[in-house]
Structure 1
Amino acid sequence: MMRLNAIYCVKAQGEEMDFKAIEHITEYRLTWDEFTSIPEDQRAAVAVASYAVSEINALSRLYLFAVQEMTGNPVIDGAVFIQANVLLRAVSSKVFEFTQLINLKDKHNKTNDPIVKKIFSDAEVAFQELKNREGFQLAQAIRNEASNHYRLKPARSNMKGLAEQARLSFCMHRMSGNSYHPLGEEFMFIARLNRAGQKAETKEDKLKLHSEWFEWNIDAVRWVNGVFRELMKEIVLKKFPSKRAVKVPHWINPKLVGEVDDHKAPIFLRTHNWSRKLAS
């Protein structure tokens, strides 16, 4: 069962009670005058970093809800696998975009602000440890070849990693959002994993490779959140030492909260007028 802090709340006397869940959210809110008093480049750094962290955390949360148990039906399992990996690849690609921000080499990321430069420089040193970890080279290759870009050259290279037993099929559905194509996943993602692990001779070895990629992404997300916390501490919290965050309970529909063990994202979409006859 879903473990929630919840009670029945009466909307008005005589009306049926509504079931509500409670979430305590701590909000640190700046006024316009406070925000504009922060130096421009520091404001920009906090803004971009908070935007990036929000995206990465949202994708990470969606990924956890998208990971389903395999059914044993290879056709359905193809959809399960694709949905989860699309989100994990998106998380990974966002992390690499964040590294482009902190290295300050892009012409659009130039700054002379000493605080921003110090925080980003320290973050880049910390990222070097991640670059030396198992999984980094594969994460980078997947980001370059199988996440943000659709290119013919990687596809040609992946031919050498395509397994003979690969499921080379196209799965189509009346609703386009339910269509998926295992051939593409086998070719652009699985074959890329196989290329990276050419010395791996067993299925277990290749599963280990996938696990290293997954674990690297988890630690990289922690690193991104750590960089953001440092920006907040040095740029915002130190500037307004007497300001405090406020923890507020929010009563919401229980459908908006859930635990990953109890709630999973569906693989197939149905609309209110869906029928088996129309879908066949």
Structure 2
Amino acid sequence: MHLYELSIPKADIEKLDETEWAFIATLAFAMDEISVFQKLLVHAKAQKPEAEELRIAHAIQENTITRALCAKIFEAVKLFDQYQRLADRNGLSDVRNKLVEFSESFDELKADPIYSLAKDIRDHATNHYLPSETKKNLEHVSDKAITKAFLHRNIGNSFYPLGEEFVFLGRIGRHYAEEYDRPHTMEDVRKWVEWALAASKVLTHFFTDYLVWVQRERFPEWALKPTKPYLEPELYGELGETPLKLFFEASRLKKPSG
């Protein structure tokens, strides 16, 4: 496993403005979370099952990961905007100029028509469970909606597409009815997934470039050294080629106590 290790002494951290370093550290935290969900999504898309019922479970898994990723993306983009305003307010011209280099990429993400869809999904079908919003979706749920539940004796193997239809797809249907006066299509869902992946790439490129800039401009003595830790073969996969598991055998799951 080839990595480049950037050592950041705490003594140097303390030389920076506290607010500036707090933003850098918070962005680092956000990027770790985004990277995890980005990898999960890429591998969730790698392979679909043949059986129609199980393709439903696959779609739920992919959509759930995408919703979580989008929520993280929105927070990171908001953080970027706040950091720009902070740099302006505090007279950090070098920081501001560096951030401006990426402003166009962030503006393009927000100008994409999918952005407003992603925002509606983030607000009403991610993290919060809102029956009041679900009621608004009812008239936008397709007559062909899969209002079923599939139960399995193992923990985590059951899935309930009726919830996905009313909360998630119903919200997408409401969005397109309100914004475009048309029903949504699966192509709209696909574009939402692709937007999430594109946005995560923009954020990853930005933060990597920004950290290297901080190292070169502020603290050239920081060590950026190659390192090659051993990674067990079973923990390595080809990006987009190794599918994320969908179900698990009972032997891999602990039974609930009691």
Same fold (TM over 0.5): yes
Task: Report the residue type matching 1:151 in the other structure.
Answer: L
Q: What's the TM-score, normalizing by structure 1? A: 0.77
Aligned to 1:96: 74
Moved over 4 A (4+): 115-126
Tell me the distance in 1 between the aligned counterparts of 2:199 and 2:79.
15
**Preserved CA contact (<8 Å) 2:70 2:122:** yes
**Could you tell me how far 1:103 is from its partner in structure 2?**
3.1
Pairwise CA RMSD of aligned residues? Answer: 2.8
Larger relative contact order (C-alpha < 8 A, sep ≥ 6)? 2
Would you say how many aligned residue pairs link Structure 1 and Structure 2? 247
- Listed as ranges, the gaps of 5+ residues in structure 1 are 1-22, 106-110, 275-280
**Could you tell me how far 1:43 is from its partner in structure 2?**
1.6
Structure with the largest fraction of helix: 2
Task: Report the residue type matching 2:197 in the other structure.
Answer: I
Which one of the candidate residues 16, 28, 41 is aligned to 2:6?
A: 28
Q: What's the TM-score, normalizing by structure 2? A: 0.83
Q: Structure 1, residues 88-136: CA drift from partner, whole Å, max 9, x if none? A: 111111011112323339xxxxx73625566566655642322211311
Would the alpha carbon gap of residues 227 and 69 (structure 1) be closer, same or farther in structure 2, given more than 3 Å must change?
closer
Structure with the largest fraction of strand: 1
* Counterpart check, 1:132 vs 2:111: yes
Aligned to 1:251: 230
* Counterpart check, 1:63 vs 2:41: yes
Q: Tell me, what secondary structure is at the counterpart of 2:251? A: coil
Tell me the distance in 1 between the aligned counterparts of 2:49 and 2:209.
43
Aligned to 2:249: 270
Question: Who wins on radius of gyration, i.e. which is larger?
Answer: 1
Tell me the distance in 2 between the aligned counterparts of 1:116 and 1:262.
39
**Preserved CA contact (<8 Å) 2:151 2:159:** yes
* Counterpart check, 1:221 vs 2:178: no
Q: Tell me, what secondary structure is at the counterpart of 1:96? A: helix
Q: Tell me, what secondary structure is at the counterpart of 1:197? A: helix
Aligned to 2:160: 181
Task: Report the residue type matching 1:57 in the other structure.
Answer: S
**Could you tell me how far 1:208 is from its partner in structure 2?**
2.2
